[in-house]
């Protein structure tokens, strides 16, 4: 704890700190909430960046600095009174940087804590899902005039399905033997879907869908809602990188429409809520629809299946490799996550025609 107090003091914060405590449900970084004494001083979020995952933290913070400034300027220009609550604000060090490297070479950053946010790990109403769709659609819209060449690739090939398939196939050869045997069924199931799931990747390679700056981690819990349930702020900007609209739309559907948890141990809890699909797509397209070409729209429904497939692959790959990437809370956690995601993917396959019709009807 003492160490955390020392770290936070390198940042230009105001207010007396009363507590620093673990915070959030991310799988990657160490995150703390820094509590200050009075209501008038801001609280903060302090994070130790996982440099095994983000090998170039300077690039991550370069992107975050650029993106938050770009969005912040636009919000202010549009006269938003609460602009500071609608975009993350990185806190500067005394020397103006937004990242601190300590003596042990650990890398830290700090954001102003947005007060009274509501976050959800599971959707609660059509209205809330619609608001989430608007928030992520608006995020893409806001970044649509920021040249993609200004943004660095913080994890090369992050959503490149061929790379994920290669990593999966390597793990199937060199991973833990007993786990490979244990997951024969899941390995087979994922392997047989490979070709269809590569469709969006191929559209990208042939230039039929444009590269855009996208978020790449559009989980339901990466949107903050205000007390009235309106979408307030998109957070977790580490993976904002050049990609495709499908990365964001698909990954959103994966968490916004799941009636169970991402890692639900009871597969009966998991299904796809098609009403939520409609609500999310409506909000998303209201904000971002005008910038998308027809091919991008035609493959939105498929992107939900592709992103759920990719997530299944990634969880299973990590399980086979002995849990070296995602933080786990029990020994079978990555297997449980894999099974939950596969169940969701199958539900999406059943609802696929309906999803397609909804997207078409939204125009």
Residue ranges that bind ligand GN1, judged by CB under 6 A: 26-28, 53, 217, 219, 236, 239, 262, 311
Q: CB of 239: closest distance to ligand GN1 in angstroms?
A: 5
Binding flag, residue 251, Mg ion (CB under 5 A) = no
Phi, psi torsion values for 318, nearest 5 degrees: -65, -35
Q: How far apart are CA 349 and CA 305, in angstroms?
A: 7
Shortest approach of ligand GN1 to residue 229 CB, angstroms?
Answer: 22
Angstrom distance (rounded) from CA 52 to CA 56 = 9
Of the candidate spans 87-95, 192-200, 212-220, 317-325, the one that interacts with Mg ion by CB under 5 A turns out to be 212-220
Burial class (CB in 10 A: 0-12, 13-18, 19+), 16: exposed
273 binds, among Mg ion, ligand GN1, none (CB under 5 to 8 A by kind): none
Residue 47 contacts which entry, ligand GN1, Mg ion, none (Cβ below 5-8 A, type-dependent): none
Q: Which stretch binds Mg ion (CB under 5 A): 179-187, 209-217, 274-282, 320-328?
A: 209-217
108 bridge partner residues: 48, 100
DSSP designation for 52 = T
Tell me which of ligand GN1, Mg ion, none is bound by residue 91, counting a contact when its beta carbon lies within the kind-specific cut-off of 5 to 8 angstroms.
none
Max CA-CA distance within the chain?
A: 59
Residue 118 has what DSSP assignment?
B
Specify the pairing of strand 107-112 against strand 44-49: antiparallel
Of the residues 42, 217, 264, 278, which one makes contact with Mg ion according to CB under 5 A: 217
247 near Mg ion (CB under 5 A): no
Q: Map residue 223 onto helix, strand or coil.
A: strand
Rounded to a whole number of angstroms, the minimum distance from the CB of residue 248 to ligand GN1 is 11
Of residues 47 and 312, the one with the C-beta less far from Mg ion: 47
* Site of tokens 């602009």: 83
Instruction: List the one residue out of 310, 140, 128 whose CA is nearest residue 237.
Output: 140
Q: How far is the CB of 363 from ligand GN1 (least distance, A)?
A: 29
Q: How far, in Å, are 101, 149, 184, 193, 207 from residue 293 at the CA level?
A: 43, 21, 40, 26, 12
Report which residue's Cβ sits closest to ligand GN1. Answer: 27
Binding of residue 248 to Mg ion (CB under 5 A): no
Instruction: Output the smallest distance, CB 27 to Mg ion, in A.
Output: 8
* Residue 138 contact among ligand GN1, Mg ion, none, beta carbon within 5 to 8 Å by kind: none
Judged by the rule CB under 5 A, the positions of this chain that interact with Mg ion are: 217, 236
């Amino acid at each position: 704890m003492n160490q955390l107090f020392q770290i936070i003091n390198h940042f230009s914060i105001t207010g007396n700190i009363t507590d620093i405590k673990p915070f959030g449900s991310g799988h990657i970084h160490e995150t703390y909430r820094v509590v200050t004494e009075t209501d008038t001083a801001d609280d903060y979020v302090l994070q130790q960046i996982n440099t095994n995952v983000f090998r170039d933290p300077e690039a991550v913070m370069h992107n975050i600095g650029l993106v938050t400034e770009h969005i912040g300027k636009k919000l202010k220009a549009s006269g938003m009174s609460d602009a500071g609550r609608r975009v993350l604000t990185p806190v500067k060090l005394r020397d103006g940087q937004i990242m601190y490297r300590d003596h042990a070479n650990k890398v830290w950053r700090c954001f102003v804590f947005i007060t009274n946010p509501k976050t959800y790990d599971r959707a609660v109403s059509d209205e809330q899902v619609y608001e989430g769709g608007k928030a992520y659609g608006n995020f893409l819209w806001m970044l649509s005039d920021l040249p993609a060449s200004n943004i660095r690739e913080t994890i090369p090939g992050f959503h490149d399905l061929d790379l994920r398939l290669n990593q999966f196939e390597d793990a199937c050869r060199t991973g833990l033997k007993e786990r490979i045997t244990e997951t024969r069924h899941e390995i087979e199931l994922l392997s047989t879907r490979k070709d269809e799931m590569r469709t969006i990747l191929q559209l990208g390679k042939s230039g039929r869908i444009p590269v855009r700056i996208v978020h790449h981690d559009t989980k339901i819990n990466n949107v903050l809602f205000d007390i009235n349930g309106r979408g307030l702020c998109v957070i977790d900007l580490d993976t904002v990188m050049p990609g495709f609209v499908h990365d964001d739309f698909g990954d959103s559907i994966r968490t916004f429409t799941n009636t169970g948890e991402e890692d639900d141990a009871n597969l009966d809890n998991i299904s796809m809520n098609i009403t939520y699909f409609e609500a999310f797509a409506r909000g998303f397209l209201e904000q971002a629809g005008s910038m998308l070409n027809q091919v991008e729209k035609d493959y939105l429904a498929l992107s939900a299946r592709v992103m759920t497939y990719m997530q299944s692959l990634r969880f299973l790959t990590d399980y086979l490799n002995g849990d070296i990437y995602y933080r786990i809370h029990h020994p079978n956690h990555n297997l449980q996550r894999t099974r939950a995601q596969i169940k969701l993917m199958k539900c999406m396959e059943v609802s696929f025609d309906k999803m397609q019709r909804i997207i078409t009807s939204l125009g």
